[in-house]
A and B are shown apart, each in its own frame.
Chain A
Amino acid sequence: MPDTAIAEAPAKAATGGNILQVRNLEAWYGESHILHGINFDVNAGEVVTLLGRNGAGKTTTLKSIMGIIGKRAGSVKFNNQEIIRATSDKIARMGIAFCPEERGIFSSLDVRENLMLPPVVREGGLPLDQIFDLFPNLKERLGSQGTKLSGGEQQMLAIARILRTGASFLMLDEPTEGLAPVIIQQIGHTIARLKKEGFTILLVEQNFRFASTVADRYYVVEHGKIIDGFSNAELAANMDKLHTYLGV
């Protein structure tokens, strides 16, 4: 299947309108060419997961969409607006929020300051009481230094702070990495609830067992390209292929 066909075929099965369209996305770190023409779509209200081995280009894809990678080419359209040349602050103000793999909790800020840091970019963000309803631990730790939280609490804080902003499109980079199973379960419930609330989520995961509990569709990234894509309903039929792709 041609690369663009992989991007479009499963997306047609989804119900929401197209919110993100990535075409021939290329990215470089200095002289290293990392992405070699990524193509995929995300529809409104979906949870789409990028799967792939370490170093396949999943995180770079998110960072390129967010405008964090300096050198990139191709086309990224968000709500039909081209953003490939936009700076990351402008992209954030369009309604895209990014939760990085390393969580990015600021050590010089307490939990409250970390939570309130991202500016509200539009109406519709979750109010604090709803955020504390999702993550009750955070309410008890508001005065603590951000980096004094446990790994799970830091992950919750990293997700919680972007929910306030009013961004409707969330990009979560490996939110379960290094977390205990009970916390992973809690993150899964949160993502499911956010989907119900109408958020669109682009997830990067290596843990496809976790991803299968929340995702509507999957794309497999390898060597900086999308090599396959299927819906959650097709997951069982694709398990053998998936094991080969992910080396598990």
Chain B
Amino acid sequence: MQALYAQLLVGLINGSFYALLSLGLAVIFGMLNIINFAHGALYMMGAFVAYFLLNLGGINYWWALLLAPIIVGIFGMILERTMLQWLTGLDHLYGLLLTFGIALIVQGVFQNYFGSSGLPYAIPDQLKGGMNLGFMFLPIYRGWVVVFSLVVCLATWFLIEKTRLGAYLRAATENPTLVRAFGVNVPRMITLTYGLGVGLAALAGVLSAPINQVRPLMGADLIIVVFAVVVIGGMGSIMGSIITGFALGVIEGLTKYFYPEASNTVVFVLMVLVLLVKPTGLTGRAA
């Protein structure tokens, strides 16, 4: 039974990363109509920025949680201003190819300087150790990742669904020309939204660093699964991304317990089933 709970926890942690990353992808797709294949590379950059901050600047994990998303978010905004904005109105394929190219370049540069092996990033002192819950042993850092990710996801959902700024974002997703004609600077809002989506990826990278180490290809390994999560949840759906992210992490964890051979493929099997039954995803909107 302990093994089942342990796999459930692993599933929840993976689900946290899936949710944060797919949420960023959903925000970016919803606003920019871009399938951001660079998301995995930006997640990796978040982890590397945390690593640099610690090892070059002596800046600890807690500051890295704040600073890495801002730094990588600014990098994302520069990408949007200099490259992605020119793809407005073009087929999704152009954005996908461009961001795929960006991902390869970013990963290539990091791999060139840091190789493929992982760099260690220590768990902060305050989150070391674990708790015996009676039915299982819970490492505190892993519990923190799940709770913090959930809070960030819900805060992002609240921002988009329940605030005036979110109303601008949702309206601009439907008809950016009209929203701009109301007096809203839509291009600036798009840039900031891309920065927000990228910042979420970077935040996931920082959270992941103490668990998975810091590796140039850490995003490449994850991004394919995250895209499957987004397809299952529905492109552009905020709550869909969050729920599907956590749910698929748990399903993956349970599969590891009940039928480990299928644990790496269960998400893709589900993706195929969803695409066959509901091509727009469980909660997605039609293109």
Interface of B is mostly: helix
Q: Could you say which of B177, B178, B182, B186 contacts A119, with CB atoms under 8 Å apart?
A: B182
Q: Could you say which of A67, A109, A121, A162 contacts B170, with CB atoms under 8 Å apart?
A: A109
Residue on B nearest A162 in the bound complex, by CB: B182
Q: Could you say which of A91, A93, A116 contacts B164, with CB atoms under 8 Å apart?
A: A116
Q: Is B122 an interface residue (CB 8 A)?
A: no
> B167, B168, B175: which has the most chain A beta carbons within 10 Å?
B167
Q: Is A98 an interface residue (CB 8 A)?
A: yes
B168-188: contact bitstring with A at CB < 8 Å (1 yes, 0 no)?
A: 101101110111111111100
Given contacts A113-B167, A116-B164, A117-B167, contact A108 B182 (CB under 8 A): no
18 other A-B residue contacts (CB within 8 Å) besides A68-B177, A91-B181, A165-B183: A67-B181, A68-B181, A87-B180, A88-B177, A89-B180, A89-B184, A92-B181, A92-B183, A93-B183, A106-B171, A106-B175, A109-B170, A116-B167, A117-B179, A119-B182, A119-B184, A121-B183, A162-B182
Task: Give CA–CA (A52, B179) in the complex, Å.
Answer: 27
Within 8 A of A (CB), among B181-202: 181-186
Within 8 A of B (CB), among A57-97: 66-68, 87-89, 91-93, 97
Taking a contact as CB atoms under 8 Å apart, the answer to whether B167 and A118 are in contact is no
Taking a contact as CB atoms under 8 Å apart, the answer to whether B183 and A119 are in contact is yes
Given contacts A106-B175, A107-B174, A108-B173, contact A88 B180 (CB under 8 A): yes
Within 8 A of A (CB), among B130-187: 164, 167-168, 170-171, 173-175, 177-186
Task: Give CA–CA (A201, B182) in the complex, Å.
Answer: 16
Within 8 A of B (CB), among A135-167: 162, 165
Taking a contact as CB atoms under 8 Å apart, the answer to whether B174 and A108 are in contact is yes
Taking a contact as CB atoms under 8 Å apart, the answer to whether A98 and B181 are in contact is yes
Task: Give CA–CA (A100, B181) in the complex, Å.
Answer: 10
Can you report 12 residue pairs joining A to B where beta carbons are below 8 Å apart?
A68-B181, A88-B180, A89-B181, A89-B184, A97-B182, A98-B181, A104-B175, A106-B175, A117-B171, A117-B179, A118-B182, A165-B182
Residues of B within 8 A of A92 (CB): 180-183
List chain B positions with a Cβ less than 8 A from chain A: 164, 167-168, 170-171, 173-175, 177-186
- Name the distance in Å between B154's Cβ and chain A's nearest Cβ: 19
Task: Give CA–CA (A118, B172) in the complex, Å.
Answer: 12
Taking a contact as CB atoms under 8 Å apart, the answer to whether A89 and B171 are in contact is no
Residues of A within 8 A of B178 (CB): 100, 104
Given contacts A109-B167, A113-B167, A116-B164, contact A89 B183 (CB under 8 A): yes
Residues of B within 8 A of A93 (CB): 183
Task: Give CA–CA (A116, B177) in the complex, Å.
Answer: 17
Residues of A within 8 A of B181 (CB): 66-68, 88-89, 91-92, 98
Residues of A within 8 A of B179 (CB): 117
- Name the distance in Å between B284's Cβ and chain A's nearest Cβ: 13
Residue on B nearest A96 in the bound complex, by CB: B181
Taking a contact as CB atoms under 8 Å apart, the answer to whether B168 and A117 are in contact is yes
Task: Give CA–CA (A105, B180) in the complex, Å.
Answer: 14
7 A-B pairs closest in CB distance: A92-B183, A118-B182, A108-B170, A88-B181, A104-B178, A106-B171, A113-B167
- Name the distance in Å between B287's Cβ and chain A's nearest Cβ: 15
Residues of A within 8 A of B184 (CB): 89, 119
Taking a contact as CB atoms under 8 Å apart, the answer to whether A109 and B171 are in contact is yes
- Name the distance in Å between B240's Cβ and chain A's nearest Cβ: 14
Residues of A within 8 A of B185 (CB): 89
Residues of A within 8 A of B175 (CB): 104, 106
